């Protein structure tokens, strides 16, 4: 199965990602609560808004207070609010060769904030395998679109002080299992992160018509054709009698 049977073209995908950055750079909640993210979004928007052929790369973080994690002993200035104890690192990478995909990867990492130290607790990435066959041969088949746990250190996480030793126990050399998963986008990863680590302000932000409209546009872009393809396989359209694994796995 060719990627363009269910996945948007590079120009459409990057245009949508830039639209997300353009929205978040000026969004009041982001500018007030996640200042660094807002600034990073502004820089990314300025860089990519008129040049999709160079690909797309973005990384930033959202600091949140999560009930399941140990509390910081200090409290914030506003109404005695607890300080953030979790940092959510969000990144997107779309690499192109001659105008076609060569690598597509989105990352969500969960870090514990403890004093001035950051500890990696979880690290997931959502990848799209651009091409099958060719000169690159992989050890085994894996899904075109997949979720992986662990992986290697990203430059952005290293720059903020994350230690390689935190990933050692995850065995970065072990790529399996790659779990068949729907395609992601920057907006969908951000929405997932805020949904999984909510507070009253982020929940209110996620309910705004403007953000919900942004998420719905990205869902239509990256998910509609994917799920249509899944339905066609399950319904045995064309009489190929394939499973989803057989259709979506590539070498």
- Measured between alpha carbons, how far is 103 from 159 in angstroms, rounded to an integer? 22
Q: Examine residue 112 and state whether it is found in any structural domain, yes or no.
A: yes
Q: What is the pLDDT of residues 133-155, one digit of tens each?
A: 545 556 678 899 999 988 788 88
Q: How confident is the prediction for the chain on average, in pLDDT? A: 88
What pLDDT does residue 152 have?
80
Host domain of residue 138: 3-225
For the chain, residues with pLDDT lower than 50 are: 76-77, 134
Tell me the CB-side half-sphere exposure of residue 132, using CA atoms within 13 A: 15
Residue 219 lies in a domain: yes
Which residues are bridge partners to 30 per DSSP? none
* C-alpha dihedral, 178 to 180 to 186 to 189, nearest 10°: -90
**What pTM does this model have?**
0.90
Q: Is 237 within a domain?
A: no
The pLDDT tens digits for 223-233 are: 999 999 999 99
pLDDT score recorded for residue 243: 92
251 lies in some domain: no
The answer as to whether 246 is a domain residue is no
Q: Is 244 part of any domain?
A: no
Predicted pLDDT at 74: 54
248, part of any domain: no
For residue 24, is it within any domain? yes
pLDDT score of 115: 75
Contacts of 127 (CB under 8 A, 6+ apart): 104, 105, 106, 145, 146, 148, 178
Q: How many domains does the chain have?
A: 1
């Amino acid at each position: 199965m060719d990627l363009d049977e269910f996945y948007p073209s590079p120009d459409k995908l990057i245009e949508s990602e830039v639209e997300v950055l353009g929205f978040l750079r000026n969004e009041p909640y982001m500018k007030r609560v996640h200042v660094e993210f807002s600034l990073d979004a502004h820089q990314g928007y300025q860089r990519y808004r008129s040049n999709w052929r160079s690909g797309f790369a973005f990384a930033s973080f959202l600091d949140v207070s999560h009930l399941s994690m140990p509390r910081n002993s200090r409290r914030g200035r506003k109404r005695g609010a607890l300080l953030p104890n979790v940092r959510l690192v969000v990144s997107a990478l779309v690499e192109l060769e001659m105008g076609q995909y060569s690598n597509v990867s989105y990352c969500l990492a969960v870090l514990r904030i403890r004093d001035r130290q950051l500890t990696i607790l979880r690290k997931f990435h959502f990848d799209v395998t651009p091409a099958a066959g060719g000169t690159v041969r992989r050890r085994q088949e894996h899904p075109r679109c997949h979720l992986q746990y662990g992986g290697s250190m990203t430059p952005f996480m290293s720059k903020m002080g994350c230690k390689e030793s935190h990933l050692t126990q995850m065995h970065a050399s072990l790529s399996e299992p790659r779990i068949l998963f729907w395609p992601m986008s920057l907006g969908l990863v951000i929405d997932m992160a805020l949904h999984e680590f909510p507070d009253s302000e982020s929940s209110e932000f996620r309910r705004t018509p403007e953000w919900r409209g942004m998420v719905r546009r990205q869902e239509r872009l990256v998910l509609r054709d994917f799920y249509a393809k899944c339905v066609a396989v399950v319904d045995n359209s064309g009489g190929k009698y394939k499973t989803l694994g057989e259709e979506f796995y590539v070498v």
